[in-house]
Amino acid sequence: MSTVTPPLDDLVDRLHVVALPMRVRFRGITVREVALIEGPAGWGEFGAFVEYEPPEAAHWLASAVEAAYEPAPAVRRDRIPINATVPAVAADRVPEVLNRFPGARTAKVKVAEPGQSLADDVARVNAVRALVPSVRVDANGGWTVDEAVVAASALTADGPLEYIEQPCATVAELAQLRRRVDVPIAADESIRKADDPLRVVREGAADVAVLKVAPLGGVTRMLEIADQIDIPIVVSSALDSAVGIGRGLLAAAALPDLPYACGLGTGGLFVDDVVEPAAPVDGYLSVAPVIADPARVAALTATPDRRQWWIDRIKACRPLMS
């Protein structure tokens, strides 16, 4: 986690809480609320989802503090390939979503959405497959092992999948599933929500590791974990604002190898953001510091009661950062 623990008063003085309207429902929400810290080293984002308790949310605060108060690491590349992100929309809305990711040659499709069927997933994936050459899916741990076996077969009946991300909830289930299907398995929650993020690799439960900066406690901590992982890495976002996306791009740019497109194109899911949205160019986003636009921050500022909610949350999380 961050090596800096700023005084609470300083964090509050530098705090901007914003509410970003979304184009489509994602993770069950239509407005994404995050707390931004305008620090001496840059802008940091504290965006732990509201249901996360302080021990888990403290990692996200540490990531924000690192970005706001500590120097950035050296980078190895100045642009990052990104995947399009397709929420659990109806198949006929897929072209509309993909239009927001110009040049993307890979798409990640959400599947296993509560209230939807496997047939819905297949229709959505096939609609994406018709427009983008490489497709991966993300189930967010929504299947049992047996359900995942059936889903893997159905979702590959009309074409290959690059991988299935977090098809089941536990490391043991992922390991079991990996022995039963030919589709590569990627781990996300089994890394970022785990007390031991390396367990999934030690137990042979994944072919790909999906790493997210904020849940792991910042860029430095993510790079430390990446250095101990001997399978390919995909850097992804956690429905971040442009500030958080900038940190993900920085982390991806610092990795020695980057064999897959990264999940850092979720800015297209917002109606508005704290900077002018950066559209991908030929499927890539540039790596550069993100400085929030004061006018946009003002226009997107959350209500005073929500600001106080985030201040109270920072008070609860700050002692747990290290």
282 is in an annotated binding site: no
Residue in this structure with the two tokens 């706001």, named with its chain if needed: 68
Structure tokens given for 121: 């997933």
* Cβ–Cβ under 8 Å, residues 312 and 288: no
Residue 315 is a catalytic residue: no
13 is in an annotated binding site: no
Residue 212 is a catalytic residue: yes
Rounded to whole angstroms, how far apart are CA atoms 30 and 75? 34
Q: Name the packing angle between helices 54-69 and 242-254 (round to 10°).
A: 80
Structure tokens given for 45: 């984002």
Rounded to whole angstroms, how far apart are CA atoms 228 and 244? 24
Structure tokens given for 288: 């550069």
Reported in sequence order, the residue ranges of the chain that DSSP labels E, i.e. its strands, are: 15-26, 29-38, 43-46, 79-81, 84-86, 106-110, 134-138, 164-165, 185-187, 208-212, 233-236, 284-286
9 is in an annotated binding site: no
Q: Which residues are catalytic?
A: 110, 212
Q: Residues at the annotated binding site? A: 138, 165, 188
Q: Residues at the annotated binding site for Mg(2+)? A: 138, 165, 188
